[in-house]
Amino acid sequence: MNQNPTDVKEILALEESANALEITPEQRQDMNGEMEQVANQFLDQLSTTKAYRSSRPDKAVFRISDEQMSIQKILDTVSNHVFPHGINAASGGHLGYIPGGGLYASAIADYLASVSNVYAGMYYASPGAVEIEEACLNWLKECFEFPENSIGNLTSGGSIANLIALTAARDAKRVMERPVSEAALYMTEQVHHCIHKALRIIGLENVIIRIVDMNDRGMMDLPQLRSLITNDERNGKNPFLVIASAGTTDMGAIDPLKKLATIAKKHDMWFHVDAAYGGFFKLLPEYQGAFSGIEQADSLVIDPHKGLFLPYGIGAVLVKDRNAVFKSHHYTANYMQDATSGDVPVSPADVSPELTKHFRALRMWLPLKLHGIAPFQAALKEKILLTHYFREQLKNLGFQLGPRPDLSVSYFWYPRAQKQDAFNQQLLKNCHQDGRIFLSSTRVDGKFVIRIAILSFRTHKATIDQAIAMLQEQLKKIIN
Ligand SMILES: Cc1ncc(COP(=O)(O)O)c(C=O)c1O
Query: What is the Å distance from ligand 1's center to 415 Cα?
Result: 30
Give the pLDDT confidence score for residue 339 in this predicted structure: 57
Residue 59, judged by CB atoms within 10 A of its CB (0-12, 13-18, 19+), counts as: exposed
* H-assigned helices in 20-157: 25-44, 71-81, 104-116, 127-143
Q: By three-state DSSP, how is residue 186 classified?
A: strand
Task: Report how far residue 455's alpha carbon sits from residue 303's, in angstroms, rounded to the nearest whole number.
Answer: 12
Contact, 379 vs 461, CB < 8 A? Answer: no
**C-alpha distances in Å from residue 247, one per residue of 143, 192, 217:** 16, 10, 11
Cβ atoms < 10 Å from Cβ of 393 = 17
Helix (H) or strand (E) holding 383: helix 374-396
Task: Report how far residue 358's alpha carbon sits from residue 270's, in angstroms, rounded to the nearest whole number.
Answer: 31
Would you say the C-alpha torsion 210, 211, 215, 218 has a positive or negative sign? positive
pTM: 0.95
| pLDDT reading at 377 higher than 80 | yes
CB-ligand 1 contact for 154 (6 Å cutoff): no
What DSSP string describes 385-409?
HHHHHHHHHHHHTT-EE-PPPSSSE
- Taking every pair of Cα atoms in the chain, the longest distance, rounded to a whole number of angstroms, is 87
What residue's CA is closest to ligand 1, atom 4?
158
Query: What is the Å distance from ligand 1's center to 233 Cα?
Result: 31
Closest-CA residue to 138 (of 127, 128, 150, 155): 150
Contact, 452 vs 411, CB < 8 A? Answer: yes
What residue's CA is closest to ligand 1, atom 8?
158
Query: What is the Å distance from ligand 1's center to 324 Cα?
Result: 23
**Chain centroid to CA 427:** 28
Q: By three-state DSSP, how is residue 23 classified?
A: coil
Average pLDDT over residues 414-425: 97
SS (H, E, C) 294-355: HHHCCEEEECHHHHCCCCCCCEEEEECCHHHHHHHHCCCCHHHHHHHCCCCCCCHHHCCCCC
Closest-CA residue to 226 (of 245, 213, 209): 213
Closest-CA residue to 247 (of 287, 286, 285, 211): 287
CB-ligand 1 contact for 188 (6 Å cutoff): no
Instruction: State the pLDDT confidence band at 472, using cuts at 50, 70 and 90.
Output: very high
Task: Report how far residue 257's alpha carbon sits from residue 249's, in angstroms, rounded to the nearest whole number.
Answer: 17
What residue's CA is closest to ligand 1, atom 14?
98
CB-ligand 1 contact for 158 (6 Å cutoff): yes
Query: What is the Å distance from ligand 1's center to 148 Cα?
Result: 25
Give the pLDDT confidence score for residue 340 in this predicted structure: 54
Closest-CA residue to 229 (of 254, 263, 257): 263
**C-alpha distances in Å from residue 377, one per residue of 138, 154, 262, 301:** 18, 21, 30, 19
Q: What is the dihedral of CA 435, 437, 442, 443, to 10 degrees?
A: -90
Residue type at 347 in one-letter notation: S
Contact, 86 vs 43, CB < 8 A? Answer: no
What residue's CA is closest to ligand 1, atom 7?
158
Instruction: State the pLDDT confidence band at 456, using cuts at 50, 70 and 90.
Output: very high
Contact, 204 vs 174, CB < 8 A? Answer: no
Neighbouring residues of 128: CB distance < 8 A, sequence distance ≥ 6:
118
Cβ atoms < 10 Å from Cβ of 80 = 12
Contact, 218 vs 445, CB < 8 A? Answer: no
Q: 438 pairs with which residues across the strands? A: 94
CB-ligand 1 contact for 358 (6 Å cutoff): no
Q: By three-state DSSP, how is residue 271 classified?
A: strand
**C-alpha distances in Å from residue 209, one per residue of 206, 251, 379:** 8, 22, 37
Query: What is the Å distance from ligand 1's center to 191 Cα?
Result: 10
Give the pLDDT confidence score for residue 480 in this predicted structure: 79
Task: Report how far residue 314's alpha carbon sits from residue 367's, in angstroms, rounded to the nearest whole number.
Answer: 13
Residue range 94-134, pLDDT digits in tens: 999 999 999 999 999 999 999 999 999 999 999 999 999 99
| pLDDT reading at 341 higher than 60 | no
Closest-CA residue to 458 (of 37, 143, 88): 88
Task: Report how far residue 192's alpha carbon sits from residue 218's, in angstroms, rounded to the nearest whole number.
Answer: 13
Q: By three-state DSSP, how is residue 53 classified?
A: strand
Residue 258, judged by CB atoms within 10 A of its CB (0-12, 13-18, 19+), counts as: middle
Task: Report how far residue 275's alpha carbon sits from residue 338's, in angstroms, rounded to the nearest whole number.
Answer: 37
The share of the chain scoring above pLDDT 90, in percent, equals 93
Contact, 107 vs 311, CB < 8 A? Answer: yes
Provide the mean pLDDT of the chain: 95
Residue range 66-103, pLDDT digits in tens: 999 999 999 999 999 999 999 999 999 999 999 999 99
CB-ligand 1 contact for 277 (6 Å cutoff): yes
Index of the ligand 1 atom closest to the CA of residue 312: 10
Give the pLDDT confidence score for residue 329 in this predicted structure: 84
Give the pLDDT confidence score for residue 79 in this predicted structure: 97
Q: 214 pairs with which residues across the strands? A: 220
Stated length of the chain: 480
| pLDDT reading at 335 higher than 90 | no
Query: What is the Å distance from ligand 1's center to 367 Cα?
Result: 22
Helix (H) or strand (E) holding 227: helix 222-234
The share of the chain scoring above pLDDT 70, in percent, equals 97
